[in-house]
Structure 1
């Protein structure tokens, strides 16, 4: 069983239904595989570790990279921590925005998959993106029944990424809707 299979199984066993969709995971793995030596990856919102597993899948068998995944909820972080992670994966329990504010370096790939760093503190996420670094956000396709404030927040994220002068952005119409931005 692969890291990805194990992560989906773990999420299912714990009733965690907000995991990264397979098409988004494949995109993350492909982007991770293209990273230069010594790259740093940041995931905001570990959940049960599915996104983390896709990122690690794209990087293995390399060991010259770091993947830091930040989860706010300690119980959810404990689910992700059940995984048998490669040594380059660092799982942390922290508020994503506070983590971004105090991070000592930038990142070459950021997957923003929680409110912190996406709908709150997006400016901090963009500031931590290295030149030529890639930012991936999902859940960008509006769905009937979304609360009005969530819809407005997602529209704000899209607008910021599309209009930001330091970013080149593409909106991808698959899975839950993905926006990919690269820092100039």
Structure 2
């Protein structure tokens, strides 16, 4: 099996990679995470999805690619410049709501929402507000995080935070999890009740 043989990449993906280089965006999501997100999202027709940490839109492009026409996604980031770039690339996309807001504030204001998949790629929803974000996952829905294996750009002490986060998720009785030492380190949790 050759995992480097990427099939059906979003047509906008190469342009987003170029934009990442042009802008010096230093936290791009791994292409393999994108393929995984696309596959998981494709399992949820008419789904409702949430991305915390839009970044430049690399993962978002894969998520949109996996969605059917009746699905919706909200993508939240607190960086106005990054949201503006994503708006340039995805502004015509009717299934997408881009939100420029603090993730913690957004989560606090939207506790009545429920999602089929949440990709937490920012501090809020991953290292803060964990219980708030997990409460938004529908039964049978996915909670996905990446960057769980030590990265060269991690500040001192971050690896311990990642280890602690995994321990907390392992103890959640209403989720079943799979930890994958693949790509940048992935954890997929499914809400069981």
Structure 2 residue aligned with 1:154: 162
1:4 deviates by 2.1
**Alpha-carbon deviation of 1:152?**
2.2
Residues in 1 aligned to 2:16 and 2:31: alpha-carbon distance in whole angstroms? 12
CA distance in 2, matches of 1:180, 1:123: 16
- TM-score, structure 2 normalization: 0.88
Q: What SS class does the counterpart of residue 83 from structure 2 fall into?
A: helix
In the other structure, the counterpart of 1:126 is 134
Residue 114 of structure 1 pairs with residue 126 of structure 2: no
The equivalent of 1:80 in structure 2 is 86
Residue range with higher mean Cα deviation, 82-91 or 46-55: 82-91
Query: Where in structure 2 are the equivalents of 1:5-84 lying within 5 Å?
Result: 5-37=14-46, 39-59=47-67, 62-84=68-90
Report the TM-score, using the length of structure 1 for normalisation.
Answer: 0.92
Structure 2: which 5+ runs fail to align?
Answer: 1-9
Matched, 1:97 2:110: no
Deviation at 1:145, TM superposition (A): 7.0
Q: Distance in 2 between matches of 1:36 and 1:101?
A: 27
Consecutive unaligned residues of structure 1, counting only runs of 5 or more, are none
Equivalent-residue separation in structure 1 for 2:66 and 2:15 (angstroms): 15
Q: Decide whether the 8 Å contact of 1:122 with 1:157 is kept in 2.
A: no
Distance 1:145 1:14, change over 3 A: closer
Distance 1:127 1:67, change over 3 A: same
3-state SS of paired residue (1:92):
strand
SS in structure 1 of the partner of residue 173 of structure 2 = coil
Q: Which moved more, 1:24-33 or 1:135-144?
A: 135-144
Q: CA deviation at 1:144?
A: 6.2
SS of the aligned residue for 1:13 comes to helix
Q: Among residues 168, 178, 181, which one is paired with 2:186 in the alignment?
A: 178
| CA distances 1:77-101 after superposition (whole Å, capped 9, x unpaired) | 1122210352101111011122112
Q: What SS does the aligned partner of 2:182 have?
A: coil
- 3-state SS of paired residue (2:163): helix
Q: 1:145 to 1:43 in 2, by over 3 A?
A: closer
